Structure formats: structure tokens, C-alpha cells
Structure 1
């Protein structure tokens, strides 16, 4: 799959999906982040094209915006306000614990590899725990590795102590606590404004947002750790009643173009977004510091991350799944991908 081609084809996909055609059922997908974000411009329209083709035009996809905070999208889809949606697990602390399996630091893999591994491990180990009760999970993915984006440069992780850092939840919160930052919780869409107004000093976010959220304008000091700080866990989900109302043929068709295929697409697109954003940030004069694995800051981070997987294993010990085996398998798949 060539993401560059997908990006250039986004407009034609949207036009294709807009045709009045033969559709009998329109699946409304609740979304957030700007419509120009690659997830909204490429991932969801491509999935919609797959669905339309697989169902011979009987099911189409429509993206709906501004239905609520991304943390509310799980409930909105469960309640049938929207037929489907996607969101970040870290926005709902307490509900999702097993999903942090893919967020653990030092995985050493990009979003595509991690997303494929995540889906396979979810299907094999995590699904029976039913953390997404009331929803049909049709895709799981991560963004590219989260990095340190600041208004002012840093020379060590110790300099982050006391700094006001936007954290999105999940493993970011644990890392922030270990680094002794002052955490500020907010959705990604608020980061530009908070940086511009000086409410925060920086954020832990993937490089993609340098471009799509224009963070290069306000966070023009980018520190890249090898493998990043963490990966962020996302789900794409559908209301089970919506699926039940489809014919057996169409339900099978929708699910057939979801799962690992959709997860891989999302990870690949988010990886590409990070690559493109980094090129643009360099061209626009962002101060980019790439830390090598043998440099002091990388060693600092390894110490910060030490033992985090054991902490997570203890936290999910009551979930009734073999989390240790799942984590080991996720790392094996991701690190050997695409073999």
C-alpha cells in the first residue's frame, strides 16, 4: 500500500463516496481533529471506499464532526448517536487498561508495525476482557512515536522538571509523573492555543502534529529520542446494532475490510504524516535535536522507563488475560515486521 498515492487520491475518494449511487445504508462516523488531518482525509475515506466496493454500493460512509470531546465518542457510538467513531484510549482514564500494552516505551517500532502487532495480539489475547463493552472494535492503531515539543530548547530530561507539559493520558501520564513535570490534560486540538498563550511550556506528541496542528509555529524546539517516548493507543469502533441491522453479506463485507487491514492502513498513514511533518519542520527552521541511542538523554529516558512494563502487568493482573505473553508477542511481531 502506497500512502503517498493514498494522500494524493484523498480528494477523488471523497468525490467517489459523495455519489448518490445505490447506497441503502449510510454509516455515520463521528470524528475529531481537523478534516485536513490524514486520519480524516485519508484513513476514513479509504475505509469508506473499501466498504462501498465490498458491499457493491449498499453501504457508504459519512464523516460527522463536532459531536463532542473525543473522550465522549465511545459513549456516543455505544448509545447510537453515531454509527461508528474513533478515539484515543488515554482520554478515558480507568476504563481502558489493557490498551496500554502498545504504549509501553522502548518498543522500537513505528506506527504501522505496532498497529499490526496490536491488532493480532488484541484478537488472540485481549478481546475476551471486553474493555470495549457495547462496541464492536474494527481497528486498533497507534500514532508514530511521541516526542518532546517545546517552546524553549532542553538539553536534558531533568530540565523538564516543573515545566507545564500537555499530556494526553495513558502512559504519558506515568512518564510525566516520573519526569516530575506539571501535567496539563487537554485534547490535542487545544495544544496550539495553549502553547500560543503560554499556558503550557510544551507537549509530548507525535511529530505529525507539527504539521497538521501547526505546532511548528509555537513549539519550534523538537527533541527526538530514539524510538520516541511512547506510542498512543487508538480504536476504531462501530455500534453493534448498526452492524446487526445490515444483511449478513454486508456485515461480513464491512468486517472483511476492517480489522488488521484497517489497522495497518491507519498506522501507515500516521507514520507517513510524521515523516512529512519532519521534512516541513526542518524546512521551516524548527530547531530539531535528534538524540542518538548512546547519548546521555537517551540513557536518562531508559532510566525513566525502567520497570514500566512490570507496573502495567501488575495493574492488569485481574483482567483474566495472559498479559505477559501478549506483551512479549506484541514486541516480537512489531520488531520483526514485516517478516
Structure 2
């Protein structure tokens, strides 16, 4: 009887421990809208996922779903994270204009440096103050930007600002579109995955994207002219969020929350930015190897652009201030962080 009882208690103990272990195993389903070969998925998301798995001793499994494989369109990604349709994902606030005004400061002309890595570290510090209060319904793991935006056109050379007149150009955000309109172009807003088809069908004459996204979208096979801006600040930028569903995060045991926390924050944001920088180097080389024309605007045109950009920043401050936000404080804080402030 004692042997039977010991066997029964052992089996019971095993069953309880197995149940506890299985309750602590978590699968995170994370979605984004790009090819897995794009720079951020390949050089940030994939290694981030493996790092989380390793540091959790395999108790967290991360599944990455590229190209919206779990359904929906890119503008829905933030809500998918918030609503638990996915456990984590990569979202662009600019795809839902006006919803997260604090993020727009980084999308204004000439606000960001030429290094996405350095700027993204500043973006995280700013986000803790200004963005997190607007995104309390998700767990922010990283916020970052890309490198300098480039003007890519098909069949039309853009060698001066005057060449932009009347061109239909894809833009990623409200602020980028406002800038293009100020330059005499006709902005056409669309998520970046739609750009190649729009360019191939003549819906647009070109668009603004960083070099890093050129190879996965094969833009170098469609566009034949690429215009760099020059200077030490980017023409425009785009704000990205790497976030987790709040209920998913809160349901984790404390030690697994600690793993996610250790893989969130300034260093992780800079890591995502560096993936963009490295992708830019590759993308520019692909463009040049294709024999496409690459030009840099003159200093005179850059000075004109900077004047237009300054006016747009002032208009943005006035606009958001009329909505009860301290636009000037946000611009000043972002500028200070880029200039090396803490």
C-alpha cells in the first residue's frame, strides 16, 4: 500500500509541476508589415526574438509574422496590439494621422540626425515623457526612427527643388505630406508596402523612403533617380513603435516580465535604429550597383528647404498648442536630446 501511495503522490506531484511549468510557457505572436528580409525584421526583430527566448530559458517563444500574415492592414497594427489580436507588433502612428500628436515632433523636417541609432536613443527618452502617456494601453518596448529620407523617382530627375513641381510623390505621414506640398509636389499618402505597385502603375511619380527599404521593395528596379538632401539633419522621418499587448505582459510571471523589461528601453530602441542605419548602407549600395542616378541637392536648395522646414515646425507648434499641448516644449525637448541633452 505504501508503494502504491508513494507512486500516486509522485504522479500527483509530477502532474502539478507539469501544470505549473506549462502555465508559465508563453508564445508571443508578433506581426509586422514588411518582408522578413527587410532590415528591421532581419537585424532587429529576429535577433530580439531569439534573445528573449534564450534569456527566458525557452519559457517564452516568439513567433514573427511578416507581411501582415495574421490579417489586417498596416494602419491597424497599433489597435491589433492594444486589442490582443496579436501579442506584439511594429506599428507606425503616422498611419493613423492625428491620433498620437506627441510622436509627430520626430516627423517634422530637419528634427532628426543622420544616425537612426543615435536619434532612436533620444526618441526613447522623449517617449518616456511625452509618448507613453498617450499609449498607456500597450506595453512600449521600443520607439525608434529610420535614417535620412531619400526622394526616389521614376522617369523624372529631381536635381533641384524646382524639379519637384507637380510630381505625385508617396509620403508616409501627415508631416511628410505637408512638406511635399510646400515644395510644389502632390503628396499621396500610403503605407510603404503599397509604394512599389503605385510606382509601377504610374499612380505616383516617386516617393520618399529611406534607402534601407529599397531592396526588399525592389524600388531600385522601378525608380531610376534618387535624390539625397545633404546637411546634418534628415529631411523628414517616421516614428515606429515596438509594443506588446498590456494584458499579455501583465499575465506574465514576474521573472518573465523582467526578461521583457530587459529587452525594452533605450538600448533596444537604439538597436532598432542601428538596423535601419545598416540597412541604409546596403540599400544605397544596391541603388548604385543598379546603375541608377544618385544626386545630392545643392547647398542653396538645402538652405531653402531648411527655411521651409522651420516654418512647418512653427506651424506645428501652433497647431498642437491650440489642442492643449505644449508644442514648443516638445520641440525643445526633442532638439535638446538630439543635441546631446539628458
TM-score (norm 1): 0.86
- Which shifted more, 164-173 or 328-337? 328-337
Question: Are the counterparts in 2 of residues 146 and 232 from structure 1 also a CA contact under 8 Å?
Answer: no
Provide the residue aligned with 1:57 in structure 2: 58
Question: Are the counterparts in 2 of residues 23 and 58 from structure 1 also a CA contact under 8 Å?
Answer: yes
Provide the residue aligned with 1:89 in structure 2: 93
Query: Per-residue CA shift, 1:272-301, capped at 9, x if unaligned?
Result: 101111122112211000235xx2221221
Alpha carbons of 1:277 and 1:22: their partners in 2 closer, same or farther (altered >3 Å)? farther
Provide the residue aligned with 1:114 in structure 2: 119
Which of 113, 128, 153 lines up with 1:123 in the alignment?
A: 128
Alpha carbons of 1:60 and 1:123: their partners in 2 closer, same or farther (altered >3 Å)? same
SS state of the match for residue 143, structure 2? strand
Alpha-carbon separation, structure 2, partners of 1:46 and 1:330: 29
Task: Say whether 1:310 aligns with 2:311.
Answer: no
Q: Give the superposition deviation at 1:56.
A: 2.1
Task: Say whether 1:258 aligns with 2:264.
Answer: yes
Provide the residue aligned with 2:35 in structure 1: 34
SS state of the match for residue 62, structure 2? strand
Task: Say whether 1:247 aligns with 2:253.
Answer: yes
Alpha carbons of 1:261 and 1:161: their partners in 2 closer, same or farther (altered >3 Å)? same
Task: Say whether 1:136 aligns with 2:142.
Answer: no
Question: Are the counterparts in 1 of residues 179 and 309 from structure 2 also a CA contact under 8 Å?
Answer: yes
Provide the residue aligned with 1:13 in structure 2: none
Provide the residue aligned with 1:290 in structure 2: 296
Q: Give the superposition deviation at 1:318.
A: 6.0
Question: Are the counterparts in 2 of residues 125 and 323 from structure 1 also a CA contact under 8 Å?
Answer: no
Alpha-carbon separation, structure 2, partners of 1:316 and 1:136: 25
Aligned length: 314
Which of 305, 314, 329 lines up with 1:301 in the alignment?
A: 305
Question: Are the counterparts in 2 of residues 23 and 60 from structure 1 also a CA contact under 8 Å?
Answer: no
| Structure number with bigger Rg | 2
Query: Per-residue CA shift, 1:14-41, capped at 9, x if unaligned?
Result: xxxxxxx998101110111111112112
Alpha-carbon separation, structure 1, partners of 2:114 and 2:163: 27
Alpha-carbon separation, structure 2, partners of 1:205 and 1:99: 18
Alpha carbons of 1:236 and 1:319: their partners in 2 closer, same or farther (altered >3 Å)? farther
Alpha carbons of 1:133 and 1:326: their partners in 2 closer, same or farther (altered >3 Å)? same
Alpha carbons of 1:269 and 1:52: their partners in 2 closer, same or farther (altered >3 Å)? same
SS state of the match for residue 136, structure 1? strand
TM-score (norm 2): 0.85
Provide the residue aligned with 2:224 in structure 1: 220
Question: Are the counterparts in 2 of residues 291 and 298 from structure 1 also a CA contact under 8 Å?
Answer: yes
Provide the residue aligned with 1:147 in structure 2: 150
Q: Give the superposition deviation at 1:239.
A: 0.7
Provide the residue aligned with 2:104 in structure 1: 100
Alpha-carbon separation, structure 1, partners of 2:260 and 2:324: 30
Question: Are the counterparts in 2 of residues 146 and 206 from structure 1 also a CA contact under 8 Å?
Answer: yes
Question: Are the counterparts in 2 of residues 25 and 58 from structure 1 also a CA contact under 8 Å?
Answer: yes
The RMSD of aligned alpha carbons is 2.2
Gaps of 5+ in 2: 1-21
SS state of the match for residue 155, structure 1? coil
Question: Are the counterparts in 2 of residues 147 and 228 from structure 1 also a CA contact under 8 Å?
Answer: no
SS state of the match for residue 306, structure 1? helix
Q: Give the superposition deviation at 1:309.
A: 2.0
Question: Are the counterparts in 1 of residues 141 and 263 from structure 2 also a CA contact under 8 Å?
Answer: no
Question: Are the counterparts in 2 of residues 89 and 170 from structure 1 also a CA contact under 8 Å?
Answer: no
Alpha-carbon separation, structure 2, partners of 1:22 and 1:265: 31
Alpha-carbon separation, structure 2, partners of 1:241 and 1:33: 26
